[in-house]
Chain A
């Protein structure tokens, strides 16, 4: 639709008599800004208004004013009642009162709507704070959970260490018994091969039926390996006497098997073997000592 066609619509627009498509096109045109059409439409509206009221006017000005004045008073009374929160339900008997009541209810509805909006905002704030508190509590719970896991690990390590110490104490107590025995027999072990500063002693008490080995200076056995003590006799050769592990920088004490009865002991030796032990020595020899005759 070109500009002239739109201008031709203006008289009809002034009497609100365009179809929806014409209305839409004209409104879009006016929204785009057209001072000429705006001025024309304004003039046409004045013409339409003049036409509309060209008829015989009703002589009711004072009469209508009395109605509006009554409405004004009723409205003011309703506002006053609302202000003082003293409104009471009452039966409405005429149109004026019904309108005043409608105004009162509109005011009340506005207050209720405002209260509802405030309540909604308040609820959202509370919900947000609750979510933040929940997240904070979850974070605290997670932190406590980590701390608990750490404490459990520490406790497990402490229990393991306690077990180790108990075992060491037990073995040292056994060694002490052996060492205190009146038939104590000691065999000193000297370094052979790679551990030049290593040494040890094997204590045997036939009276207490116990034998112990204490070593020092041996390097820790590699994974899957262990040190094995041998009794070497003239009849059977090497006889297994026990497995043990060495600790870096510390002496190691371990129980040992009693020497085979009825056989002549010649040597005691330590070799590095598979962790499960073997029947005959296969690895390097680290320590060796001559068993003194009783």
Chain B
């Protein structure tokens, strides 16, 4: 991926745009908003490819981080404009193993792992990740002590990681 190479941008778009738009839409935006976010993210990644640090993770993880950050920024701007109190609770995406990250099999495993999470763990993790809420706000929203919320999120992450490790093995 090098700035100035249109083929690299096309390849980046075709490979990651689907999952990134799905991710962006989970932050409360519609399809148009999500496309806007992802177009900006892919453009940024393509034109500023040198800012990518392979030592900090894969390209997919980098793009996810950029997309999440951009989606949260857009969500905050939208909240400010509409003076809404809080974001909508995240929706749930229908499983579709096609064209996610590196391999469809991995996506299936991840989704299966997410689906197998304890309901409380999954709710805590989704609320923490797909919203713009602070620790105390998530705890308040769930009506739980902060320590309990952290334990649930950490437990969910550990199960997901174990599932991904098993897929690699």
User: Interface digits, B1-43 against A, CB 8 Å rule (1 contact, 0 not)?
Assistant: 0000010011001110111111101100001001110110011
Tell me the nearest residue of chain A to B109, going by C-beta: A50
Contact of A47 among B42, B43, B107, B161 (CB under 8 A): B161
A54-B18 in contact (CB<8A)? no
Contact of A52 among B13, B23, B43 (CB under 8 A): B23
- State the Cβ distance, B96 to closest chain A Cβ, in Å: 4
Complex CA–CA separation, A64 to B12 (angstroms): 11
Complex CA–CA separation, A68 to B98 (angstroms): 22
- State the Cβ distance, A95 to closest chain B Cβ, in Å: 8
Contact of B14 among A8, A12, A47, A61 (CB under 8 A): A61
Q: Does A245 contact B (CB under 8 A)?
A: no
Q: Does A16 contact B (CB under 8 A)?
A: yes
Contact of B101 among A14, A18, A38, A50 (CB under 8 A): A50
Contact of A53 among B22, B39, B98, B153 (CB under 8 A): B22
- Counted as pairs of residues, one from A and one from B, with CB atoms less than 8 Å apart, the total is 158
Knowing A15-B129, A46-B58, A55-B93, say if A61 contacts B160 (CB, 8 Å). no
Complex CA–CA separation, A59 to B17 (angstroms): 8
A56-B95 in contact (CB<8A)? yes
* Residues in A54-100 with C-beta less than 8 Å from chain B: 54-65, 67-69, 71-72, 95
Q: Does A45 contact B (CB under 8 A)?
A: yes
Q: Does B84 contact A (CB under 8 A)?
A: no
Complex CA–CA separation, A71 to B10 (angstroms): 12
Complex CA–CA separation, A52 to B27 (angstroms): 11
Contact of A54 among B6, B25, B114 (CB under 8 A): B114
* Residues in A18-60 with C-beta less than 8 Å from chain B: 18-19, 38, 42-60
Complex CA–CA separation, A51 to B99 (angstroms): 15
Q: Which residues of A contact B134 (CB under 8 A)?
A: 19
Contact of A42 among B43, B57, B101 (CB under 8 A): B57
Tell me the nearest residue of chain B to A18, going by C-beta: B135
Contact of B154 among A11, A53, A65, A72 (CB under 8 A): A11
Q: Does A17 contact B (CB under 8 A)?
A: yes
Contact of B21 among A47, A49, A57 (CB under 8 A): A57
Interface of A is mostly: helix
- State the Cβ distance, A254 to closest chain B Cβ, in Å: 103
B9-A72 in contact (CB<8A)? yes
B161-A43 in contact (CB<8A)? yes
- State the Cβ distance, B155 to closest chain A Cβ, in Å: 9
Q: Which residues of B contact A72 (CB under 8 A)?
A: 6, 9
B58-A49 in contact (CB<8A)? yes
Contact of B157 among A15, A16, A18, A67 (CB under 8 A): A15
Q: Which residues of A contact B99 (CB under 8 A)?
A: 57, 61
Q: Which residues of A contact B35 (CB under 8 A)?
A: 60, 63-64, 67
B17-A48 in contact (CB<8A)? no
A53-B13 in contact (CB<8A)? no
Knowing A17-B128, A46-B164, A48-B64, say if A53 contacts B9 (CB, 8 Å). no
A49-B153 in contact (CB<8A)? no
Complex CA–CA separation, A47 to B34 (angstroms): 22
* Residues in A155-194 with C-beta less than 8 Å from chain B: none
Q: Which residues of A contact B96 (CB under 8 A)?
A: 56-57
Tell me the nearest residue of chain B to A40, going by C-beta: B161
Most buried by A among B9, B17, B98, B135: B17
Q: Which residues of A contact B160 (CB under 8 A)?
A: 47, 50-51
Tell me the nearest residue of chain A to B91, going by C-beta: A55
User: Interface digits, B51-62 against A, CB 8 Å rule (1 contact, 0 not)?
Assistant: 000011110110
User: Interface digits, B82-115 against A, CB 8 Å rule (1 contact, 0 not)?
Assistant: 0000000000111110111100001100110010
- 9 residue pairs bridging A and B, Cβ less than 8 Å apart: A15-B129, A17-B153, A42-B55, A46-B58, A46-B60, A51-B125, A54-B100, A54-B111, A58-B22
Nearest 8 CB-CB pairings of A with B: A55-B93, A57-B18, A53-B19, A11-B157, A56-B93, A49-B61, A58-B21, A49-B64
A51-B110, A61-B14, A68-B9 are known; give 9 further A-B pairs, CB within 8 A: A11-B153, A15-B125, A43-B161, A46-B57, A47-B164, A48-B61, A49-B60, A54-B100, A60-B21
